[in-house]
Amino acid sequence: MKKEISVGYSVQKIPRKLPTVLTKKQVWKIICTPQNLKHRLILMTTYAVGLRASEVIALKPKHIESEKMLIKVEDGKGRKDRYTMLSPQRRHDFNRLPENETANSLRQNNLLPMDEQFGTQ
C-alpha cells in the first residue's frame, strides 16, 4: 500500500529591478572614449540597434547587409536569428573604415578580433 505524502511549500517571487537608464550625455561619453574609429563604430552600432554583448562578439562583416540596410544577428537571445536595421549614418561610417581595418577584420572573419574582445593587444 502506497501512502501519499504531501509537502506544503511556497516559493516567493523575487522582485526584479529595472536597469539603470543612462542619460544621453553618459552614452555619448562612453561612445566617444575609444580613439579607434572601428571601436567607436562598434559601440555606436551596439547602442543604436540594441545588440547584446554576445551578439557584438559574434558580429562578422558578412552580417552587415549594406544594400538592404540590415544587420543579421545570428544565435541571439533564445538561439534565434533576427535582423535589425542599419541606419544610413552607420552604413556611411562602416564605409569610412580604413582599408587596412576592413582587410584585417575580414581576414579575422569578425569585426572585433579576439585580442580586442578581451582587452589584450
Rounded Cα distance between 18 and 75, Å, is 25
Rounded to two decimals, what is the model's pTM? 0.62
Give residue-wise pLDDT tens across range 13-42: 888 889 899 999 999 999 999 988 888 888
Q: Which residues contact 60 (CB under 8 A, 6 or more apart)?
A: 109, 110, 111
Residue 119, pLDDT > 50, answer no
- Checking if the pLDDT of 108 tops 70, the result is no
Domain assignments of the chain as residue spans, ordered by start? 24-90
**How do 70-73 and 82-85 pair as beta strands?**
antiparallel
pLDDT for res 118: 41
CB 103 within 8 A of CB 111: no
d(CA 26, CA 24): 5
**Averaged pLDDT, 67-81:** 85
DSSP secondary structure code for residue 18 in this structure: P
- Residues paired with residue 2 on neighbouring β-strands, in sequence order: none
